[in-house]
Structures are given as structure tokens and as C-alpha cells.
Amino acid sequence: MNFRQRRHEEPEINLIPFIDVLLVVLIFLMLSTTYSKFTELQLKLPVADADAQRDYPKELIVSVSAEGAYSINKQLLAGRSTESLSIALTENAKAGKDTVIIISADASARHQAVVTVMEAARRAGLNQITFATQSSGTAGK
């Protein structure tokens, strides 16, 4: 009888074919993926569709013209600085801190003019701000 112990060879896992298959799959996915490219943003503001406009009894309408002139409740302001606008907002805010500022800016008004109104409202302590828009049905009229 032959009672010799046999040598048991450890099983070996060859990872090279597995890596090759993964690289082929990776290359295939890279070549077949399409990427969306947005070259420019086209914006047309301000237009919005609203079901019904809300009623603000404590509202203060700040209008901004295309040239950057400001008016509060249809009264034209002489200055265009943030300080003068802040003082005028404080004087016209009859409800105090509960006053809602409605910014009605011309569509071609500069962005900085609207930001100036927002900054003046912040300095006056008025933090309820909304924007007036027109519905898309009346935008071309």
C-alpha cells in the first residue's frame, strides 16, 4: 500500500483575463456615451403664468425702468443710490417690517438695478420681496 501524502496544489485565480474584460467594457461605455453640450443659455424674462394674483394689503410697489430709474408707488425717486432708495423704502413702509416689496422691473432693465432694490430693502429691514411678471399670453402685446 502506498500511503504517501500527495501534494495539494493551491488553486490559483488568474485576474489578468478579468481585468482585460473590464477594460474592454469600460472602453465600450466611454465610446458609446453621448454628452449633452449646452453652448448658451437663452433667457426671456420676465414672464410667468399665475392662476390668480395674491392680494397684499401691505404692499409697496417698486418700479424699475429700462434706464434704471426707480419709483415707489408711482412716485419717481430722484436718486439712484442704494442709500436714497433705502430711506425712501423706510418712509413708505406703512406696515413696518410686515411690508411686502413688489419689484416691478422692465424686462430690459439691468440686473444691477434690481439687485440695488433688493439691497435697499435689506438695509431698510424689509425682507418680504416678490417680483411682478406678466402672463405669457400678454407678453407679446
Q: Which domains does the chain have, with CATH numbers?
A: 59-131 (3.30.420.270)
Q: Answer whether 0.85 is exceeded by the pTM.
A: no
The predicted pLDDT at position 119 comes to 93
Lowest mean per-residue pLDDT among 19-23, 45-49, 89-93: 45-49
Q: What is d(CA 114, CA 58) in angstroms, rounded to the nearest whole number? A: 21
Average pLDDT over residues 91-113: 86
DSSP 4: P
- pLDDT surpasses 80 at 86: yes
- Which of 79, 124, 77 has its CA nearest to residue 101? 124
The predicted pLDDT at position 40 comes to 46
In degrees and rounded to multiples of 5, residue 73 shows phi and psi of: 50, 50
- pLDDT surpasses 50 at 39: no
